[in-house]
Amino acid sequence: MSEDVTTNQEATANGEPRDRSGTLVLDARNVTKQFGGLTAVSDVTFSVPERSIVSIIGPNGAGKTTFFNMLTGYYKPTTGLIELEQRNITGNRPDVIMKLGMARTFQNIRLFGTMSALENVMVGQNSRMKGGLFGSIFRFPVRKEEKAVTEKAHEELSYVGVKPRYHDWLAINLSYGDQRRVEIARALASDPKILLLDEPTAGMNPQESAELTDFMHKLRDERGITVVLIEHDMKVIMRVSEHITVLDHGEKIAEGKPAEVRANPRVIEAYLGKKASQEEH
Amino acid sequence: MSSAAATEPEKGAAPPGAKRGFTVPEGAEKAFIPVFVIIVALLPLVLDSGGTLMGNATLALAYVVMALGLNIIVGFAGLLDLGFVAFFAIGAYTMGWFGSDFFSAVNDGKGIHVLVSDFSQNLAGIHLNFVFVAIAAILFCTIAGMIIGLPTLRLRGDYIAIVTLAFGEIIGRIAINGDALKIAGQPLTAGRQGITPVDKIDLPFLEPFTSLELRPWYWMALALVVVALGVSFALRNSRLGRAWIALREDEVAAVAMGVPAVKTKLLAYGTGAAFGGMSGAFLGSFNNTVNADQFQFYFSILILGMVILGGLGSIWGVVLGAIVLTTINFYLIPDVFNSIPSKLGFDFDTTQITFAIYGFLLVIMMIIRPEGLIPERRRKQELHDESEDALVAQAP
């Protein structure tokens, strides 16, 4: 990845006037999660404007994934409120939240290994389908739907860059990069308004990471999808994020534009220790 | 869908494992139904219509329906159910309750009759046409299946097996002690004595079945098999079928993709149970008795054995597994090999070591062909770990 690409991207991220006052697609207010005596996430407020790309960063164990799990309904917040498009989704089941328009991927790829790539993506459309038990038994009413769903699955797979000849491969046989892509396609298949990516570039080489960051822009620009990502790769973060939230020990210690966050002494302290942050200033 | 990948001409492009053994291509699987039906339907023409073989063949078909039902729960949805006998019991008792003189006091001893033969018309008790009994059995079993499913929803893997095992035993115990469970003086079951005789199947537009001419029974069982096959195939490649497999593979991810876990699992239990009920009602009438001794743990294991022998999740595999195990259980062990040990100078019959034979077969099976006789392509991948080959094949 060349340096000028990075600076280029930052310029657009920082320089372009962006409508940040627009409607919030996701709004989490004062969210806290306690496991017994341990406070994993403490009083975090996090809002995501429509059509934006925002990141949550923080050292290992900072509570990023726990926070994601609360947003997507795996954990119920101990206190706090989560709204998706002004609708309270606090404590809703994950499948309900998915249906309302928030899809996610996982830190460690969780594809359905013995289903083909295509079938994986078809499962992603589950919440958009109507065919029930009887509809499926008496094929007639669902046949049309099945066809449409299959077609859309092919489209999504091609959209994320999985070659057609791999569409019928079982997911476990795909290459690592393709597995990541299929996972994103599966999440996209439900036409979400907001997509949560948990460390999407983990295990990718620099070129693949660069492709993925471009893809995130494409998602936002072409399909109007808001992207929230957890990431460790600072290059990726600084390239794509318009807004960064930093968590440490479950607390929000900083937020702002990439440049601001990068200069923030508390952030440096969280990542590199107290001494490092003092040396720098 | 698999055929496209399997015939991929490019070197290294076919999924590893696709070439190993034989897996029926998906399209051909369905097309095989009419072939199967014609062959099986013509079989009675060469068999003695009142003989043991005919009876065993009918049993085999009824068991195919049972196994296909359990296959939906265990094979598709991955919920290990060790209490499938419960649905056999409920289906059979539905037949017993609504097709015999068991409730002899009902309607002042005159009985209730709905669309039944002239012969049954004069008997006491409740006598409904078999169509109604079958519908009732399906309904009861679906409800029971969901009730049994409810407490297992929070459980995974082996723990589901334990809970379902317990439910199977509970139903079995109720069947045995039901003669003492009196509601308004009327016992719930006839316990070990059994409800007998049970009405013969009596379908609209057809002569009532008799116990001497077994062909109608056989064809009736075949009709049930066709229904079960049709439903299995339709469901497997449907939204619901994919949701089942997704849940089986990774529940967390499935739920994240919008699959409602509770509803989807309950539908699996309900559908599987419905098959069990349908077949149970048929067997209640065919056996002419609904006896508590029929509903033992042994039965659950027998059906599970059919599913595993044939190939978990593989529809044709399960059909074959059911036929093979029924043949072994009802023909080979009691009729063919029974006297062999005594001829060799041992002091036992093969019927006494049925479990040992099954155990032996299962061990052999697990060593030679753990994925079953006709494996489902997914399971095959799982059990023959060739991911290393896959990596080599795909190395850039």
Residues A86, A159, single domain; the answer is no
Last residue of a domain, one of A191, A220, A240: A191
Residues A7, A89, single domain; the answer is yes
The predicted pLDDT at position B191 comes to 87
What is the per-residue pLDDT across A25-79, written as a single tens digit (0 to 9) for each?
999 999 999 998 899 999 999 999 999 999 999 988 889 999 999 999 999 999 9
The predicted pLDDT at position A17 comes to 41
Please tell me which residue of chain B has the smallest CA distance to A112. B249
Last residue of a domain, one of A144, A168, A191: A191
Mark which residues 100-129 of A lie under 8 Å from B by CB.
Answer: 103-104, 106, 110-116, 118-119, 122-124, 126-129
A114 token code pair: 């013995």
Q: Do A136 and B238 touch (CB under 8 A)?
A: yes
The architecture of the domain spanning B24-375 is Orthogonal Bundle (1.10)
- Domain assignment present for residue A10? The answer is yes
Residues A132, A220, single domain; the answer is no
Residue A11 has pLDDT above 70, yes or no: no
Partners of B59 in the beta sheet? Answer: none
Contacts of A268 (CB under 8 A, 6+ apart): A276, A277, A280
Residues A95, A210, single domain; the answer is yes
Residue A279 has pLDDT above 80, yes or no: no
Residue A128 has pLDDT above 60, yes or no: yes
Contacts of A234 (CB under 8 A, 6+ apart): none
Looking at the 3D structure of chain A, how many domains does it have? 2
Handedness of CA B304, B310, B315, B316 (dihedral sign): negative
The parent domain of residue A122 ranges over 112-191
What is the per-residue pLDDT across A233-265, written as a single tens digit (0 to 9) for each?
888 888 899 999 999 999 999 999 999 998 888
Residue A5 has pLDDT above 70, yes or no: no
A111 token code pair: 């594809």
The predicted pLDDT at position B292 comes to 92
- Domain assignment present for residue A107? The answer is no
The predicted pLDDT at position B2 comes to 40
A17 token code pair: 């006037």
Mark which residues 220-279 of B lie under 8 Å from A by CB.
Answer: 230-231, 234-235, 237-243, 245-246, 249-250, 252-261, 267, 271
Contacts of A226 (CB under 8 A, 6+ apart): A25, A26, A48, A49, A50, A51, A52, A53, A193, A194, A195, A220
Asked whether A146 and A162 are in contact (CB, 8 A), the reply is no
Residues A97, A116, single domain; the answer is no
Handedness of CA A33, A39, A40, A44 (dihedral sign): positive
CA atoms within 13 A on the CB side of B118: 1
Best probe of the B interface among A107, A126, A147, A190, by most B CBs < 10 A, is A126
pTM of the complete model: 0.85
Residue with tokens 């990726």: A236
Which of A129, A138, A165 is opposite residue B8, by nearest beta carbon?
A: A165
Binning pLDDT at 50, 70 and 90, where does residue A164 land? Answer: very high
Contacts of A246 (CB under 8 A, 6+ apart): A56, A57, A58, A252, A253, A254, A255, A261, A264, A266, A267, A270
* ipTM given for this complex: 0.85
C-alpha of A84 from chain center: 14
Residue A15 has pLDDT above 80, yes or no: no
Mean residue pLDDT of chain A comes to: 86
CB distance from B8 to chain A under 8 Å? yes
Q: Calculate the dihedral angle through the C-alpha atoms of B223, B227, B228, B231, rounding to the nearest 10 degrees.
A: 170
- Domain assignment present for residue A159? The answer is yes
CB distance from A22 to chain B under 8 Å? no
**Do you know the residue count of chain A?**
281
Residues A50, A185, single domain; the answer is no
Strand (E) or helix (H) holding A34: strand A24-35
Last residue of a domain, one of A160, A191, A222: A191
User: Cα–Cα distance between A4 and A6 in angstroms, integer?
Assistant: 5
The predicted pLDDT at position A90 comes to 92
- The β-bridge relationship of strands B112-114 and B126-128 is parallel
Asked whether B356 and B328 are in contact (CB, 8 A), the reply is no
- Give pLDDT < 70 ranges for chain B: 1-27, 378-396
The predicted pLDDT at position A44 comes to 94
- Provide DSSP, A220-233: HHHH--EEEEE---
A68 token code pair: 């994601």
Exposure class string for A214-251: b at 16+ Cβ within 10 A, else e: ebbbebbeeeebbbbbbbebebbbbbbbbbbbbbbebb
Residues A124, A77, single domain; the answer is no
Residues A124, A62, single domain; the answer is no
Asked whether B281 and B201 are in contact (CB, 8 A), the reply is no
The predicted pLDDT at position B21 comes to 43
| A164 preceded by a cis bond (ω within 30 of 0) | no
Residues A245, A256, single domain; the answer is yes
Which of B237, B246, B271 is opposite residue A112, by nearest beta carbon?
A: B246
Residue A132 has pLDDT above 80, yes or no: no
Partners of A88 in the beta sheet? Answer: A83
Residues A82, A169, single domain; the answer is no
Assign residue A258 the CATH number of its domain: 3.40.50.300
Residues A201, A97, single domain; the answer is yes
Residues A118, A161, single domain; the answer is yes
- Domain assignment present for residue A106? The answer is no
The 8-class DSSP code of residue A46 comes to: E
The predicted pLDDT at position B154 comes to 82
Q: Do A169 and B234 touch (CB under 8 A)?
A: no
What is the per-residue pLDDT across A184-240, written as a single tens digit (0 to 9) for each?
999 999 999 999 999 998 888 888 889 999 999 999 999 999 999 998 888 888 889
